[in-house]
Amino acid sequence: MIEVKLKKIIDERGISQKQLAEMTSIRPNAISEIVNNQRSTINREQLAIICKALEITDMNEILELK
């Protein structure tokens, strides 16, 4: 199982889910589902957009294999 560590990242950076949605143009509901690991799959395009907005270059920073 792959866990998205987005909640930890945005909390550390002081960014709200709403702000991330505005930064990425991804629906707030979709951001919430990703942050709370409520999706069984994740859109690679959305993940790339999030990584770009947060200046993440190493996928290991945002994804964890459990």
Tokens of 37: 């690991």
pLDDT of residue 45: 95
CATH no. for residue 13? 1.10.260.40
Q: Among all chains, which residue has been given the structure tokens 């889910």?
A: 17
For 46, the 3-state DSSP assignment is: helix
Give the count of domains, the chain: 1
For 2-48, how does the pLDDT look when each residue is reduced to its tens digit (9 = 90+)?
899 999 999 999 999 999 999 999 999 999 999 999 988 889 999 99
pLDDT band per the 50, 70, 90 thresholds, residue 1 = confident
Provide the residue range defining the domain that includes 33.
Answer: 2-65
**DSSP label at residue 40:** S
Reported pTM? 0.90
pLDDT of residue 53: 98
pLDDT of residue 40: 84
